[in-house]
Chain A
């Protein structure tokens, strides 16, 4: 269990949050022109990194807002938290 610093509510117990998977996967701008391979890439393929990963979280039992997190998946250490729409911090 770890504490998460919600950008809107401050530090809260991890139990209040829901993980939303890898961040910065862009929705295709022209869905009708996508090939099957490109759809598979968008829908299913994930980096699943062991190390620094950029991901989305939702404060489900709090403000219910989404935000981004940079986390080291090899030790669960949170490196940075930033709001949706903000530029990800340089590594």
Chain B
């Protein structure tokens, strides 16, 4: 039985010096066979397991994770959540996720610190202005809240932005989605893990997948560092390493894995109470609850699995940040890191069945997967349980690269990839 977190449990545990909290999830050895196995214990994988158990009554399932849960891109992103995508298919997908975010802490009984502080996207040239206005209209037609802001309104909403017209990247306007914001990335993985575990899901850490066993065109199980696990359904949610797993099954995916960098500053008093994204120059900034500036940079242009990017990428981002926010000129950066993002040619994700029966892929989220975590898990669980996609992820099938029916979000997604 899972104890509920509440103010009473906090008081009760305080009396015993917080030494008797129940474990949030178990540490089981893998069983011989499961009804389904999820490969990858990040936010998306754990959410998939959670919804498989909760909505589809699949309780005899496992999540296998090479390292520790939430230690990949879930722990490395800049936690931005928004749904202001241009195309209908993307708007449907990301707003589905945003709606789940709005009630997620209550549902999981775990504070994911979802904060709807708004996300502002800046326009730096006339083409940006046209694109952002078009996207604002498209968003509103899809029922997604979006407003276009003039330079003066941008300045009013976030006073520390330098809006003088003679800078290298002048601010000509911007868009604002007020329902957007941030969440605590670790808490999302831990909350889903705790929820899934309570429904009987085995979360198996330090268990690397070494091979996928096929019988003709269907899956029979997976070889792992903890032995063979028999299963008829394998859902791969391995982000940057999706192609590595696909190669084990003899599949090729339309992905390239590249390093994406982020960095945080020393903690300071509250100075920026929203998220500002400057897409043309790859400079994203918000402030964490600890007070650190959280800064997102761009990707390198070469394939790499090293989880560290090139110095000039960070330098370019910081140049832009300093010009837009002169007040940050003496901030010192504490940490810098990279995560490996798997990017599709159309910059949209893949949530799909494959040519192999029982093998499903959830990948290609590229630089912006964190925001979709709850929706991705929900829709992928539906796809695995029913062997058919939900109508919200039907467009994100693998076959679109054959049919040509791409969801081209390059640039359209408010982010230059």
Contacts and interface: CB of A to CB of B under 8 A. Distances in A.
Interface string B273-316: 00000000000000000000000000011111110001110000
Contact of B243 (A1, A39, A47, A76): A47
B401 A76 contact: no
A27 B345 CA distance: 18
Given A36-B402, A36-B403, A44 B345 contact: yes
Interface in B369-417: 401-404
Given A37-B402, A45-B253, A50-B244, A55 B306 contact: no
Interface string A31-54: 000001101110111111110010
B402 A46 contact: no
Given A1-B311, A1-B312, A21-B256, A44 B306 contact: no
Choose among A21, A46, A48 the residue with the greatest number of B CB atoms under 10 Å from its CB.
A48
A47 B244 CA distance: 9
A46 B301 contact: no
A53 B255 CA distance: 14
B401 A48 contact: no
Given A14-B310, A55-B303, A50 B254 contact: no
Given A1-B310, A1-B311, A75-B306, A45 B301 contact: no
B303 A53 contact: yes
B302 A19 contact: yes
Query: How large, as a class, is the contact surface on chain A?
Result: 20 to 34
Contacts of B402: 36-37, 39-40
A12 interface: no
A76 B304 CA distance: 7
Chain B interface residue number, banded: 20 to 34
B306 A48 contact: no
A44 B301 contact: no
A79 to B, nearest CB: 14
Interface of B: 241, 243-244, 247, 252-257, 300-306, 310-312, 342, 345, 401-404
Task: List the 10 closest pairs (A to B, CB-CB), nearest first.
Answer: A19-B302, A48-B243, A44-B254, A40-B402, A45-B252, A44-B401, A19-B301, A50-B305, A40-B401, A1-B311
A55 B257 CA distance: 14
A15 B247 CA distance: 31
A3 to B, nearest CB: 12
Contacts of B401: 40, 43-45
29 contacts: A14-B310, A15-B310, A15-B312, A19-B301, A19-B303, A21-B303, A22-B303, A36-B402, A36-B404, A37-B402, A39-B402, A40-B401, A41-B252, A44-B401, A45-B252, A45-B401, A46-B252, A46-B255, A47-B247, A48-B255, A48-B342, A49-B243, A49-B247, A50-B243, A50-B257, A55-B302, A73-B305, A73-B306, A76-B306
A48 B256 contact: yes
A76 B402 CA distance: 32
